[in-house]
Chains A and B, each alone.
Chain A
Amino acid sequence: MSQQKVDLTTLPPQQIFEFKRQIQQEVQHLQSSIQALNTAKAKFNECIANIDRVSKSPENDILTPLTSSLYVPGKIVDNDKFLVDVGTGYYVEKNVEDAKEFYKLRIDKLNQDSEQLTQMIQEKINIMKSVDNVLKQKIQQEEKSRQQTTQA
């Protein structure tokens, strides 16, 4: 990327408009990222809820999914052992506490990320507003000079 500072007011309106559109796209991208983070967060929260349910339930009968449409009745042998997906296909055996801790850490991380993202979006929106102002001024100026030329 070419890192050079350009004074917006020196650019023609079309280019400013293009610039604004670019920022708009970035904001949209960031917003979809936040959504993705929220979905991930919901998934991890569900994991914690499931751990609680399994570890606290006096029943140990479950239906085990073999595929998404085929189940067999099963019994939970040890409700203090969970296999946790730690990423890239690796699963680690953890007890209730460690498993919950693991998911909590993940959620914390996600919260931090989404906070950062929200900040970035706010910044972009501020930039967009000032770009808008410059654009308005430009258009007004052009209109004025056009009127003057027609009058002259």
Chain B
Amino acid sequence: MSQKNLEDISLRFSKLQNELNDLIKARQQLETQYQENKIVKEEFAKLDESSTVFKLIGPVLVPQDFNEADINVKKRIEFIENEIKKVEGNIQDHQKNLETTRDELITLRTQQTQT
């Protein structure tokens, strides 16, 4: 009976591990996007309304209003910051979950070796 339990828990453990890895990947991707957007924001800070800005949409460069582009980038940074917070909270929850599952696993294993 404890054999079944052990299997269940180790399955849950590896599932949690995979999910945590995915979350960490997502977090890294967000960080890359965040950094790139920050560079663009810094660049825009040096420009003014007289600058000509284009946005690459597919293979085509589309003229953009500078103010609009500036607001867009700022909004995107805000969005990414929120996403990062969300993912980070998720990661923490997962880590806690993983730890408790691991503890359960260890106690079960020691119990088994003892009997």
Q: Which A positions have Cβ atoms within 8 angstroms of B?
A: 83, 85-93, 102
Establish whether residues B61 and A86, one from each chain, have CB atoms under 8 Å apart when the complex forms.
Answer: no
A88 B73 Cβ-Cβ under 8 A: yes
Number of interface residues of B (CB under 8 A): 20
Could you count the A-B residue pairs with CB atoms below 8 Å apart for me: how many are there?
45
Known: A89-B55, A90-B54, A91-B53. 11 other contacts (CB 8 A): A85-B56, A87-B39, A88-B33, A88-B37, A88-B40, A90-B55, A90-B69, A90-B73, A91-B56, A92-B51, A93-B53
Chain B residues whose C-beta falls within 8 Å of the C-beta of A91 in the assembled complex: 53-56, 61
The smallest C-beta distance from B53 to any residue of chain A, in angstroms, reads 5
| Cβ of B43 under 8 Å from chain A | yes
Measured in the bound complex, the distance between the Cα atoms of B36 and A11 in whole Å is 42
Distance in Å from the Cβ of A60 to the closest Cβ of chain B? 21
Is A83 touching B54 in the complex (CB atoms < 8 A)?
Answer: yes
Interface contact B53-A92, CB-CB below 8 Å: yes
Which chain B positions have C-beta within 8 A of A86? 39-40, 43-44
Which B residues are in CB contact (< 8 Å) with A90?
A: 40, 53-56, 64, 69, 73
Contacting residues, chain A, for B36 (C-beta < 8 A): 87-88
Ranked 3 nearest A-B pairs via Cβ: A93-B52, A91-B54, A89-B56
